[in-house]
Structure 1
Amino acid sequence: MLAAQRAMGAYAKVGLETSTMGASPHQLIQMLFEGARSALAIARRGVERRDLAEKGRAITRAMTIVGEGLRGSLDLARGGEIAANLDALYAYMEAELIAANLHNDAHRIDNVDGLLASLQSAWSEIARPAAAPLATPATSAMPAVAGA
């Protein structure tokens, strides 16, 4: 049984590595949101089952994704007020997760998950216009706009 779990874990790791290799920066951030939210679901389950080890591992994973992945990807020098606000929000999430871990508090886990869900939804909306531009005769003759 343990060998099968290790094999499945190795398979999942290879799958993740393969999917990240071809991903755009936007898709990588989306994967970080998904990974953090998945870890929070496991942490919530750990709290409900009173499985402190599971909860601790999952919260640590979520904190790493939020702190090193999402927060670490911010360009504070060029990102202006939006980057500064996201930095503060990610710091708040990390503090909430520390408190959730210390107090076995599913409410704080849910709070962070809700914040991540909102950000993930907004992040998905950003990609939609760029992912499927509509080309009509009227718009196809227009010059391209940088950053659009």
Structure 2
Amino acid sequence: MLNSKMLKQFNKAYEDDALKAAVYGASPVGLVVLLYEGAIKAINQAGYAIESQRYDEKARLVSKTIDIIDGLRESLDLQQGSEAAGNLSDLYIYMKQRLSIANLKNDLEILAEVRRLLETILPAWQELNRSSMSTSTASNAY
């Protein structure tokens, strides 16, 4: 699931050393959770930047969010032909398009729309991460 391009995008998205350590210590599903959380945080900060008329900062944060979503999309295994992977790929493309429009128009509503989409899907990834950690812990106990 992790390739060198994804790791570069993780590094770009997470410049903080402590967070970088968490990224490199996380499971593949845990990385997805971190990326979703990072995208949501960047969208929130982009909204604040628009409200403060700091458009250069807004552009940087929207670009960061697009990079994160691009990393999520690239991590999908579309070769397996999974319907879920195909649907997520389409959703990520849609989010990137919407973010580009939000960036051009300084549109807080579009930012909120993409944030809501991410927040809707995030709990499923968090639950999958908890389940995989529980299974891993249980199997390591023996």
Q: TM-score, with normalisation over the residues of structure 2?
A: 0.80
User: Would you tell me which structure has more helix in proportion to its own residues?
Assistant: 2
Higher relative contact order (CA 8 A, sep 6+): 2
Shift of 1:79: 4.7
Between the aligned partners of 2:60 and 2:89, the Cα distance in structure 1 is 23
Instruction: Mark the runs of 5 or more structure 2 residues left unpaired by the alignment.
Output: 1-14
Between the aligned partners of 1:51 and 1:26, the Cα distance in structure 2 is 34
Shift of 1:128: 3.3
Moved beyond 4 Å, runs of 4+: none
Shift of 1:125: 2.0
Percent identity between matched residues is: 38
1:16 to 19, 24, 48: 19
1:128-147 equivalences in 2 (<5 Å): 128-132=130-134
Name the residue aligned to 1:46.
49
Between the aligned partners of 2:72 and 2:91, the Cα distance in structure 1 is 11
- Secondary structure of the corresponding residue to residue 50 of structure 1: coil
Name the residue aligned to 1:96.
98
- Secondary structure of the corresponding residue to residue 93 of structure 1: helix
Q: TM-score, with normalisation over the residues of structure 1?
A: 0.77
* CA deviation map 1:57-109 (0-9, x unaligned): 10000000001x21111000115111110000000000000000000100000
Whether 1:109 aligns to 2:88 is: no
Deviates more, 1:48-57 or 1:99-108: 48-57
Deviates more, 1:97-106 or 1:13-22: 13-22
Name the residue aligned to 1:126.
128
* CA deviation map 1:38-57 (0-9, x unaligned): 11011110111121111101
What is the aligned-residue RMSD (CA, Å)?
1.6
Read off the aligned partner of 1:122 and give its amino acid letter.
Answer: A
How many residues are matched?
Answer: 122
Between the aligned partners of 2:37 and 2:57, the Cα distance in structure 1 is 18
Instruction: Mark the runs of 5 or more structure 1 residues left unpaired by the alignment.
Output: 1-11, 134-143
Read off the aligned partner of 1:119 and give its amino acid letter.
Answer: I
Shift of 1:129: 3.3
